[in-house]
Amino acid sequence: MATSEQELFVSVDAMLGEEPQLPPTAERARLREAAGVTQARPATALKTSTQSINTWSWTRACRCRSRRPGSG
């Protein structure tokens, strides 16, 4: 089943909407790096680029969805 990047963003947003608030972006990055997880790992899992993961992380942090790839 092919899934577009925008559909993945919508799915992740829906999932996160059900979860408690995430820590600030810098803290998430610190925790990820401390665990030895690069941005390449979720990018591979989501079949996207590390740039998309980076953009999504910062876009989600500032809630500036208009900057999201494919959103127009």
pLDDT beyond 50 at 66:
no
In whole angstroms, what is the distance from residue 45 CA to residue 47 CA?
A: 6
Residue 59: how many other CB atoms lie within 10 Å: 18
Question: What pLDDT was estimated at residue 50?
Answer: 92
> What are the tens digits of pLDDT across the range 46-59?
899 999 988 877 76
User: What's the angle, vertex CA 3, arms to CA 18 and CA 22, rounded to 5?
Assistant: 25
28 vs 19, residue with greater confidence? 28
Secondary structure element (H or E) that encloses residue 22, with its range: none
